[in-house]
Chains A and B, each alone.
Chain A
């Protein structure tokens, strides 16, 4: 496939009808370069290809009508957007035009009709022939399947996603023509219930015995089960691959954020400390308040107490009465006429007089005892006041220490938080890693079980088939069916062997091609490996061991670029080798050379890599269309100059983001 031209009308920032951009179709000077500053419309141009072919756009809105045109439209007036691509596919020229009409229905509203795709091709006699509208999508799919489109119309930003794309396997198989063989193989697979072979088997006449006929149903059941198991095995493998990739990503994140993890642990520990210290401070405050409210009065009364004690001392009447005894208590004893020792006070006059004497030593008759008690209370107060000072001092010291400690920890927390602010949560990543490990183990166990079930089911199918074969009666009908089965199985075997051989060859040649391209761009010790699922990994030799290596953004871009270029290169080589059936051993695969249409291919690459990429691109693709920023072009130009067939510049009219034109450079 070679793209001859693209013409745009009112498509996004390309206001009005733009003169067609003619791409170089020269075999030697096969590069067309389109230069432009940021937001001039380089990505829009690549989107124009995708919109025209597949009605897909990657913009925030699906509106493709130029904003200035939309604003200037009168009420109920209509405007058209179209993109027209002229290309050569399988030696035939196709003109593909997608048109969309918008009518202004209100001040700010538009009625946008569904886009219309029209395709014409040139007959061998030069006459234009229209493709029926119902066949248009099929025709596009024939020329460049949508599943592969991202590989040939890509931008430098999206290129880094290549390892995470789910359709890499399907895309590579499709590009190499293996999907056709794969589909044919599946339709003849004797183990599939819906296959041609199985359908023939079902028709075999095993007589009227119910038991024998039941065997055929058992065979269909087993084949259906096998189909389901194979689907589950594929799903399990896909899942395992996904979780293995996720494991690698998470490991890399954990490793890359080792310091972050340390900081996050530190933050957690500091937060815990702060909670504890704050609690201690609250306790200190409660204790201070409590001690203060109970001891302050005594403390401030100390001078008064000293003075009172001095007065009591000077009174020289310390009193000898029973401490805490009251005169009323003595009256009570006298009234009941019985002492607390049990002595009868009526009969024992001496005891009665003795009690009366004790009463005289008590207040209110005598103050001595009161004074003595008061003095003892004062002494206790003074002792307590002494310890109160110590307690207040200690409380205050604890409080101050905790306050300082809190300030220090808070400052530290602030510093640590500032370091990790906005960064990823490593603890969460570690949790995800553990969860991922568990899921991965479960999936691997599941795969083992499914594989074992597949083995058992295949054995079961083989046994049933053998029994059916034994029971099959001899008849012309069965003879014919057995021949059909034999031919179907022989074609299946041929496809299977051919498919495996082709896929092995594709992998080997792709690996070789990708590494050749990678080595031309990168001059270090790393090289590329490609997994069974077409995942690309950078490896390096360390102490005689192959180890996976980290990738910078630039290196990742080079790696991914090598992969895509390797694919295009391989498709070109295969296309040049020719298609069609050659002999019995070779399976025919149908491939065609493809162009590379690239937006910002040098994104993330340094000047050395830009130069290296520039040298390789024209060699690996039949046709190269590059949308490049002026600053990158300075580095790419020396390597590409001899290969440039056409050169264009995108100019912003009045520096506007909504009006650009593309002019051919002299």
Chain B
């Protein structure tokens, strides 16, 4: 069964705001410390988004 590509997802603005803030802070910290490599940062951001989406759904 195929999904309807016309469906627009309604994003939770609070959730979006939290994500923006956390991703930026995470990047800023890593820019200073260079603690994580590119792929590690991608993974961290990905997990952060997934966690926020899950939290929002529950």
Contact = CB atoms under 8 A, between A and B. Distances in A.
A483 B3 contact: no
Contact of A200 (B20, B31, B41, B46): B46
A491 B19 contact: yes
Interface residues of A, number: 40
Does more than half of chain A's interface fall in helix, strand or loop, or is it mixed? helix
A187 B42 CA distance: 6
Contacts of B32: 138, 141-142
Contact of A199 (B16, B21, B46, B57): B46
B41 to A, nearest CB: 6
A473 interface: yes
B45 A187 contact: yes
Contacts of B31: 179-180, 183
B20 A478 contact: no
Contact of B27 (A138, A180, A483, A490): A180
A416 interface: no
Interface in B7-58: 9, 11, 13, 15-17, 19-21, 23-24, 27-28, 31-35, 38-39, 41-42, 45-46, 49-50, 52-54, 57
Contact of B38 (A135, A142, A187, A581): A187
Given A184-B23, A484-B49, A472 B3 contact: yes
Interface in A449-496: 466, 469-474, 478, 480, 482-484, 486-488, 490-491, 494-495
A470 B4 CA distance: 7
B9 A472 contact: no
Contacts of B53: 480, 483-484, 487
B23 A474 contact: no
Interface centre among A179, A183, A473, A483 (most CB of B within 10 A): A483
A474 B41 contact: no
B27 A491 contact: no
A69 interface: no
A288 interface: no
Contacts of A487: 11, 15-16, 19, 49, 52-53
Interface stretch (A80-88, A583-591, A637-645): A583-591
Contact of A473 (B3, B24, B42, B45): B3
Interface residues of B, number: 34
B49 A194 contact: no
Interface string A425-467: 0000000000000000000000000000000000000000010
A187 B41 contact: yes
Contacts of B39: 194
Contact of B11 (A135, A194, A486, A587): A486
Contacts of B2: 470-474
Interface in A203-260: none
A158 B49 CA distance: 47
Contacts of A471: 2
B20 to A, nearest CB: 6
Contact of B3 (A138, A474, A584, A588): A474
27 contacts: A138-B35, A141-B34, A142-B33, A180-B28, A184-B24, A187-B41, A187-B45, A188-B23, A194-B38, A199-B46, A470-B5, A472-B3, A474-B1, A474-B2, A474-B3, A480-B53, A482-B9, A483-B53, A483-B57, A484-B50, A484-B53, A487-B19, A487-B52, A488-B49, A490-B16, A581-B24, A587-B24
Given A188-B23, A472-B3, A491-B16, 8 more contacts: A138-B33, A141-B34, A184-B23, A187-B27, A187-B41, A466-B5, A484-B53, A487-B11
